Chain A
């Protein structure tokens, strides 16, 4: 069993590490080298691509835009969605089910289909080419996923805790703050990671709403390395790696809360 576990874990690790190495190597190569041998060690580890990606375009600007959009989108999605998830879990009877279904439905609509009506709406509201517009749409679109995940976890909080608090005269707001949220930290952390990745990599909405350079986000900027017939893979991957760095940080930061979640559970038990 132990051997099986080690083999399985290492195999999957390899399946991730090998392509990852290929990506890292690619950033040090010329296009010619890439096609000669995708896995080969680069001739030299020069940082030309890393330098030119910052020199040739306002990367810092794109980076800032992405950071702003992602931070606001994640924060508010989590805040609004946790409120809704709490309300849904606490609601009695069919009303909770109705709201749950209404929000869950949001995950099931293919984005391609409401994008034309959505564009019209955002344009009419004067929110194209503005980060605020992007953030508002992001929140609305990812809220269903967040509600779905968080309400799943909040349901497993023992009902007796709420009842006891109620007898002590606690308001819903107080129970949300003092019971639901503290006990949901691990699932909030997990949901946040999901949202971070989704908002950070999102291409569809920036593509639709942003056309001015000053409001472009990173994924939109990376598109310029893709040509009609030829794609500049070394530059594209350099961009991808630079772009993924903040996500690695976000992951490492949020992972702490998984650990805290465990210890909290242990103390309680």
Chain B
């Protein structure tokens, strides 16, 4: 019954699904198959090693664990600040005045730049001797706040996370703007008539209406922060002493530095599972927050 109702809709899936199968699903299945081998990524032959790669990752790979922990730190920081900032800015800039349109465009600007340029700009900002950040802190008498932004092993991952937030807040802002604009004005009128305060307006009108966009933003930010390979690689290459190594940079090194393509594939399968779990958990949480009232 369901199937018949869906029949004409399958035609809609067709063009995209064909391309997706050829250029995405097939190579990915290949990669998963390689995760059970010791292929180096180059030689014509390899051996099947069963679950050895997976067992190794879990029992005998201290760097993988480190990268995982770093990745969670990075993700949480970016997720919280990027979502909060982009939501606040979207609410501030929702009206289409000239200033707001200009600011939205300005905030979007970093997104246009390539990761390599962003990395270069921010290495200059964080540079200990000629860096913009320390110079500015000195000049406004906040010299005691000066830090070894990328050199301090406890701080570096957060410094990189700040760059990521700078890079993508404007992008998320757009999603929220699109979401906020879909809220019918009369809902607020009703809320006003009932004498709702600002917080109530947000809690009972804006939030439930904007939850779909929030879901998108948060899931996308999470995935993006797991895949922030280009930026981190160009800024720190995972150093100093693995302190900014995340899973994506680790997988890259495993595949193309150590030439353990099979092992890298196993690492990425675990990577996919982790992101999938986090994303599903987020969907559940956000749905719950909407249903509550």
Contact = CB atoms under 8 A, between A and B. Distances in A.
A27 B165 CA distance: 25
B234 to A, nearest CB: 10
A58 interface: no
Given A95-B6, A112-B252, A13 B220 contact: no
Interface string B161-175: 000001001010011
A152 B13 CA distance: 17
Contact of B212 (A140, A155, A171): A155
Contacts of B212: 152-153, 155-156
Given A12-B85, A38-B130, A255 B105 contact: yes
Contact of A114 (B31, B227, B271): B31
A141 B122 CA distance: 28
A165 interface: no
Query: Helix, strand, loop or mixed for chain B's interface?
Result: helix
Interface string A12-45: 1101111110110000000000010111000000
B30 A117 contact: yes
Given A9-B103, A141-B24, A259-B96, A110 B130 contact: no
- For B27, B121, B230, the residue with the greatest tally of chain A CB atoms inside 10 Å of its CB is B27
B248 A110 contact: yes
Contacts of B2: 92-93, 95
B51 interface: no
Contacts of A148: 216, 219-220
Given A114-B28, A141-B24, A108 B9 contact: no
Given A80-B15, A152-B212, A113 B9 contact: no
A261 B264 contact: no
Interface string B205-226: 0000000110110011001001
B23 A118 contact: yes
A165 to B, nearest CB: 14
Interface residues of B, number: 94
A137 interface: yes
Interface string B251-270: 11001100001001100100
Nearest to B278: A108
A251 B105 contact: yes
Contacts of A67: none
B166 A16 contact: yes
B76 interface: no
Contacts of B111: 197
Interface string B101-136: 101111111111111110011101100001010010
A136 interface: yes
Contact of B6 (A92, A115, A116): A92
A90 interface: yes
B142 to A, nearest CB: 14
Contacts of B20: 103, 106, 140, 143-144
B181 interface: yes
A50 interface: no
Interface string B80-103: 000001001100110010000101
22 contacts: A5-B92, A17-B106, A18-B132, A19-B132, A23-B121, A84-B13, A92-B5, A103-B20, A107-B220, A110-B229, A110-B247, A110-B248, A121-B22, A136-B19, A143-B19, A147-B16, A197-B171, A201-B112, A236-B117, A236-B120, A255-B104, A265-B185
